[in-house]
Structure 1
Amino acid sequence: MPSMRPRAINVLFGVAATVIIIAGLKAAAAIVVPFLLAVFLVILIAPIYFWLQRKGAPSWAALIVLILGMLGIGLFGATFFTNAINDFAGNLSKYQRELTLQINDSVKWLESHGVEIEEDWVAKTFDVRSLFTQTANLLKSIGGILSNAFVIILIAIFILMEAARLPDKIRHLPGMTDNRWQDLERIVDNVRHYMGMKTVMSAMTGVLVTTLLILMGVDYPILLGVLAFLLNFVPSIGSIIAAVPGILLAIVLHGMGDAMIVAAGYLIINVGISNVLEPRYMGKGLGLSPMIIIVTLFLWAWMLGPVGMLLSVPLTMAIKVALEASANTRGIAYLMSDTVPTKDTETSE
């Protein structure tokens, strides 16, 4: 019985420490978010940096190439996105009026065919103003991320300047054993693989959505394509959220018939990429339980805002790998996993 007390105390200390860390991350979100984005940006582009060095480019030249590339893409993206969002916000009232007319026409058509609808049912069910306001707020929140592009790139530049020496520094830290170093390498490799392949798949999603909306004559096809690209990083619900603005604009501009075609296009694109291409090229899976993916999605979003939603999966993957490294926390990692460990696996570990 006495042996149970230290274990219970350790559990209580672990829970308390976790609560403190979560509260600290939420309180310091304004500082943590740019740093996290810069770290993930460096994880993505570091292979390009080392590839340029292997091809004979001096480290300073490789760094300048990456800096110019990041600045060019970042400034162009922030400028384009900000202008497109402002233009969209300026047309909100027009879209709201058009959507209200479309809904009223649909109600009249249903009533002419014998379907009885209560007078205030439409107003209660379809809050047109709220639909477009929420869409505008979503775009503005993502635009806010891009408005910090210069700060994020600046942090990434300083991390890249240390990229060549940082592994050796970490490798020689006190207490850094071979096993811990291998765990760190596994975390970085898993995150890089996921972020790299997810970026490619998300880019394909964005291009296909942009093409679909151009063909259907929907306003802001590039803006909505970028939105589909970014929200494709959000598991489960991201693709659904990204489809809403495009479908609403299709209803406003062309009516329900074309809107159904646009909705079908979104469905085909997302199902094709998420259920066919991603499993084939991203491996057997994320190694995370679907329940854990959803729970941590909302937890990271609560702590870090929209960026928490975008980075929820790689952050949770990194935590899971870190928990697997210790015998004391390996059970928690198993609970987060999408597989049940066998007796042989437990024994070998």
Structure 2
Amino acid sequence: MLPPWYPMTIEMPAVIINSQRLVKTFLFPLLMQLSDRTTQTLMAVIATILIVAALRATQPISMPLAFAFFIAVLVYPLQRWFNRYIPHWLSLVLVLLLLAGVLGLAVGALEISAEIIEPKAPEYLNRLQQMAESAQSWAQARGFPVSQFSSGQNSNQLTQEAIGGIKSLLSALSLFVLVVSLLVLLLLEVNQYKEKTQRAFPSRTSDRLINAVGSMSEKLRRYLFVMTLTSFLTGVLTSILCFILGVDLAFVWGLIAFVLNYIPTLGSIIAVIPPTLVALVFNGVGRGIATLIGLAVLQVAIGNFVDPRLQGKTLQLSPFIALISIVFWGWVWGIPGAILGVPMTVAIILLCQEFDSTRGIAIVLGEVEKSKS
């Protein structure tokens, strides 16, 4: 009696032969008949997949390099202005000192927020505990299962969270050191970029590449500058509105609104939620509704009137593309990738806009200005 797998040993060569015939008689001629445009499209798709895989595999280097690149784009005009009056190395030192000052302001803002939250924390915790106990009693009275946590579990959980916090802090410090190191190297080499590009590529290609990168950098710089300006305006007005309405932690909500406003549309929606919830819990329903309406009107006014006037028609990123950018780059690089998601997508759109063959990608990803050529 033949074993059960015996027929497969007979049919397998036939399957292989038929597959080879299929490739020779159908697939290969089809590939040969593809137009140059289709071939270029397939090659572009393959190259994109390989680039994404490479970025994901080289995350410890490529992600800090992206951070350093965006910072360099922002500060290079300042360094170039310093170079007119002082030596190159001294201008680099001044730029780094200014960046350190900005970082110090950010840390100071976080410290002020912590000092504001600290005396309020016991009151908030007691109120949240009362709400949790009320919800637990309501659920038990209606027969819903309610889980119980022992103090030992809470202690172990706090220990694990403390260890995780220390690891996150060390990781952030190492990332900061690497970003600063790469930034210094980029600023040292940026003046030689044009010369090296002209030597590496033919004259026509090098000119197009230099012009494309220069135009992209200028537009990206404008985009980030306008985003910073509107974010600052949003944060200040959010703090003022919360202070007028008597919502606790007005400065903290303004700081959160400033940070989240860098995420188009989605960040504005998220920034409204925390102060509204605090107003509902601690100031009553009427104050909560007033906070919601006031912050929503503020976000809509800045997003639909102020930002378009400052930004012009250079770039308008849709909420859907912004969300996809955050999710995609978060998958590639983790949390830092989610932070860089929107700027990375904006840079890609602006770079694609500079070439006729890729301008369609720029139009699909974001509404960009029409080419003047």
TM-score by length of 1: 0.73
Per-residue CA deviation, residues 14-47 of structure 1 (Å, 9 max, x unaligned), is 3333223223333443433332222111211222
Which residue of structure 2 aligns with residue 51 of structure 1?
81
| Aligned residue among 36, 46, 50 for 1:20 | 50
Which residue of structure 2 aligns with residue 160 of structure 1?
187
Q: Does 1:194 align with 2:223?
A: yes
C-alpha contact (below 8 Å) 2:55/2:62 kept by paired residues:
yes
For residue 283 of structure 2, what is the amino acid of its counterpart?
H
Q: Residues of 1 paired with 2:308 and 2:41: CA distance? A: 37
| Aligned residue among 65, 69, 78 for 1:39 | 69
Which residue of structure 1 aligns with residue 348 of structure 2?
319
Deviates more, 1:296-305 or 1:278-287: 296-305
For residue 57 of structure 1, what is the amino acid of its counterpart?
I
Which residue of structure 2 aligns with residue 111 of structure 1?
none
| Aligned residue among 258, 262, 271 for 2:287 | 258
Which residue of structure 1 aligns with residue 242 of structure 2?
213
Structure 2 CA distance for partners of 1:167 and 1:98, relative to 1, 3 Å:
farther
Structure 2 CA distance for partners of 1:259 and 1:305, relative to 1, 3 Å:
farther
Structure 2 SS opposite 1:162: helix
Q: Residues of 2 paired with 1:94 and 1:304: CA distance? A: 38
Structure 2 CA distance for partners of 1:230 and 1:280, relative to 1, 3 Å:
same
| Aligned residue among 77, 88, 110 for 1:81 | 110
For residue 18 of structure 1, what is the amino acid of its counterpart?
T
Which residue of structure 1 aligns with residue 367 of structure 2?
338
For residue 155 of structure 1, what is the amino acid of its counterpart?
L
Structure 1 SS opposite 2:200: coil
For the aligned residue pairs, the C-alpha RMSD in angstroms reads 4.0
Q: Does 1:224 align with 2:253?
A: yes
Structure of higher RCO (CA pairs closer than 8 Å, 6+ residues apart): 1
Structure 2 CA distance for partners of 1:120 and 1:233, relative to 1, 3 Å:
farther
Structure 2 CA distance for partners of 1:324 and 1:212, relative to 1, 3 Å:
closer
Structure 2 CA distance for partners of 1:9 and 1:77, relative to 1, 3 Å:
same
For residue 40 of structure 1, what is the amino acid of its counterpart?
F
- For structure 1, the 5+ residue unaligned runs are 107-117, 124-139
Structure 1 SS opposite 2:190: coil
Q: Residues of 1 paired with 2:108 and 2:177: CA distance? A: 12
TM-score by length of 2: 0.69
Structure 2 CA distance for partners of 1:170 and 1:246, relative to 1, 3 Å:
farther
Structure 2 CA distance for partners of 1:8 and 1:50, relative to 1, 3 Å:
closer
Which residue of structure 1 aligns with residue 321 of structure 2?
292
- For structure 2, the 5+ residue unaligned runs are 1-29, 136-140, 147-164
Structure 2 CA distance for partners of 1:102 and 1:260, relative to 1, 3 Å:
farther
The alignment of Structure 1 onto Structure 2 pairs a total of residues equal to 316
Deviates more, 1:81-90 or 1:280-289: 81-90
Q: Residues of 2 paired with 1:289 and 1:225: CA distance? A: 24
Moved over 6 A (4+): 89-93, 102-106, 143-146
Q: Residues of 1 paired with 2:210 and 2:352: CA distance? A: 14
For residue 190 of structure 2, what is the amino acid of its counterpart?
A
Q: How many Å apart are 1:250 and its aligned residue?
A: 2.4
Structure 2 CA distance for partners of 1:76 and 1:294, relative to 1, 3 Å:
closer
Q: How many Å apart are 1:194 and its aligned residue?
A: 0.6
Q: How many Å apart are 1:199 and its aligned residue?
A: 1.1
Structure 1 SS opposite 2:315: coil
| Aligned residue among 209, 212, 230 for 1:183 | 212
Structure 2 CA distance for partners of 1:307 and 1:201, relative to 1, 3 Å:
farther
Q: How many Å apart are 1:12 and its aligned residue?
A: 3.9
Structure 2 CA distance for partners of 1:33 and 1:248, relative to 1, 3 Å:
farther
Structure 2 CA distance for partners of 1:249 and 1:275, relative to 1, 3 Å:
same
| Aligned residue among 201, 205, 212 for 1:174 | 201
Structure 1 SS opposite 2:196: helix
C-alpha contact (below 8 Å) 1:187/1:321 kept by paired residues:
yes
Structure 1 SS opposite 2:79: helix
Q: Residues of 2 paired with 1:195 and 1:35: CA distance? A: 18
Structure 2 CA distance for partners of 1:245 and 1:42, relative to 1, 3 Å:
same
